[in-house]
Chains A and B, each alone.
Chain A
Amino acid sequence: MAFRPTTLLATAALSFAALFATAARADEFTTKNVDEWQAQFDIVAKDGRALWTSPELGTNGVVCAQCHPNAANTHPETYPKFQKQMGRVAALWEMVNWCIENPLEGKALAADDPKMIAIQAYVTKERRGVALAPGKH
């Protein structure tokens, strides 16, 4: 991946600016809003579960859930972390792609692909309540 961290930060700053420019005042949201936002998340996490059990991510019929029932042993709370085989600190989405390309013999997804976001929503939802432990092995 050849992206430069500075470019990434600049893009993130722009996104935040755009968000604040269009949003109402920060404290003006209701329980109904919260429920709606949670529902949006749950829909995406459900899409993620569908992908988790779907052969469409790969080419050989193998699905994520075959090795990771309930997304167990994916340890989303430990990322980013150092991966000795990559020789650097990697994010969860890169490990998802590793599995898509190897056991599933499929094509890697972009980091911001809605499918990748859905997969991460599902994986983290199954891990809810576990304390963050970045870098943990």
Chain B
Amino acid sequence: MGIDRRGFLKSVSGTLLAGALPVTLVELAFAKSSENFTFAYISDSHIQHIKGNKFVRNWDRGLLRAVAETNLMTPKPDFVMFGGDLAQLGTREELDHGAEMLSALSYKIHMVMGEHDYYLDLGEYWSELFGPHYYSFDHKGVHFVVLNSILTYDDWTYNRWESGKQRMGEMAGLDNPNGSPFMVGEKQRTWLKQDLAKISKDTSVVVFSHSPLQKIYKGWNFWTEDAEDIQAILAPFNQVNVVYGHVHQIQYNQIGNIAFNSVMATAWPWPYPESYAQAESHLPVLTVPMNRADPFFERDATGWQFIDVNTGRVDLRYNLYDNSSRTVAFNDAKRRPEDTAYQNPANRIKAQDHY
């Protein structure tokens, strides 16, 4: 938590006032402030093809805005993550159009697979554009892992549907009872064990997935079927951070050494699962919800974020259009992520009530 970060935030705040950014920035912090760095995170753009050269304007605007604002960050982020669901129905048109918009970024970008990118052709065209479905990389002493967490049971994927298009359509409906729970699967879990065997237990690990890697609400796939197995693989490491998309809302949690943070969507917000009166759900009690969305502001409750990496932990800085920015930072004393303004129940505001 050094001078570097404060200087960085000051400049970002300036940009914020000018443009009211909605991205999530992530900073990881180290004992020596010179080791801290920041990356930006854009997610869930759901680029949706209508026909010919027409795409849904609303979702296009969300991604264009996040890209433009990320490019304005000073100092620059070390890289950009894209958290999955670039497309709505995984078509070439949507992935090409989304890739073209992302190509305007001035930074290196790492991609995460979302279910909307995958289920038409099982990620084939996405791979042509962006590379492998799961991988790892190292940056300034931090080990980053990208998982494809939106796989599901083979029977659902391979035997149930007449076409890829039908399969994609079924998985695209969040509340569709014909859907199937997300999972990382045995093959990737084996790979993950091997990948992590190469690093020391003191290495800071940041895992990116599309789905939560924890179980919140199965009905909307705020869920990963083999979450406990993955958590067990990550448990021996002293500092683990899981950053996920998919949920289109702010969530955070702490399970053992693992801190969980979600990122915003650029396309549209989702209700918190507790808003569905007919089912039980388990939003982490730690989470202070984001403000209820105002439908009259097209970009309300969407956004992007930058992430400060400090002493191996991630602090998420949410830039929320038409709302005050939020920061969910790792509290070293309590060893869990907390909202820096609203964690105390006395500080919560009316708009955070969801029902």
Contacts and interface: CB of A to CB of B under 8 A. Distances in A.
Do A and B come together as binding partners? yes
Interface stretch (B33-41, B157-165, B271-279): B271-279
Contact of A70 (B56, B278, B292, B293): B278
A60 B271 contact: no
B233 interface: no
Contacts of A73: 271, 275, 292-293, 354
B252 interface: no
A72 B275 contact: yes
Given A70-B278, A126-B277, A98 B173 contact: no
A98 to B, nearest CB: 7
B48 A61 contact: yes
B56 A62 contact: yes
Interface in B331-355: 350, 354-355
A70 B220 CA distance: 9
A77 to B, nearest CB: 9
Given A62-B56, A103-B58, A126-B278, A69 B48 contact: no
A60 B276 contact: no
B58 A69 contact: no
B268 interface: yes
Contacts of A67: 268-270
Contact of B276 (A53, A65, A69, A103): A69
Contacts of B50: 60-61
A5 interface: no
Contacts of A65: 173-175
A17 B295 CA distance: 40
A66 to B, nearest CB: 7
Interface string B273-305: 101111100000000000011111010000000
A129 B296 contact: no
Band of interface residues on B: 20 to 34
Given A65-B174, A67-B269, A72-B271, A99 B277 contact: no
B62 to A, nearest CB: 12
Contacts of A75: 355
Interface string A69-106: 11011010000000001000000000100110011000
A97 B49 CA distance: 23
Interface residues of A, number: 25
Task: Please classify the interface of chain B as helix (H, G, I), strand (E, B), loop, or mixed, using the class held by over half of its residues.
Answer: loop
A71 B294 CA distance: 16
Contacts of A103: 58, 268, 298
A72 B296 CA distance: 17
Interface string B42-78: 0000101110001011100000000000000000000
Contacts of A62: 48, 56, 58
B295 A127 contact: no
B219 interface: yes
Contact of A72 (B57, B176, B276, B295): B276
A103 B300 CA distance: 13
A103 B271 CA distance: 16
A75 B295 CA distance: 13
A50 to B, nearest CB: 12
Interface in A1-32: none
Contacts of B176: 53
B294 to A, nearest CB: 8
B56 A61 contact: yes
Contacts of A137: 350
Interface in A96-132: 98-99, 102-103, 126-130
Given A69-B220, A70-B279, 17 more contacts: A53-B173, A60-B54, A60-B57, A65-B175, A66-B174, A66-B268, A67-B269, A67-B270, A69-B174, A72-B273, A73-B271, A73-B292, A73-B293, A73-B354, A98-B295, A103-B268, A127-B277
- Smallest CB-CB A-B distances: 10 pairs: A69-B175, A73-B271, A72-B271, A72-B275, A85-B296, A69-B174, A72-B276, A70-B175, A70-B276, A67-B268
9 contacts: A60-B56, A61-B49, A65-B174, A73-B293, A75-B355, A98-B296, A102-B295, A103-B58, A128-B277
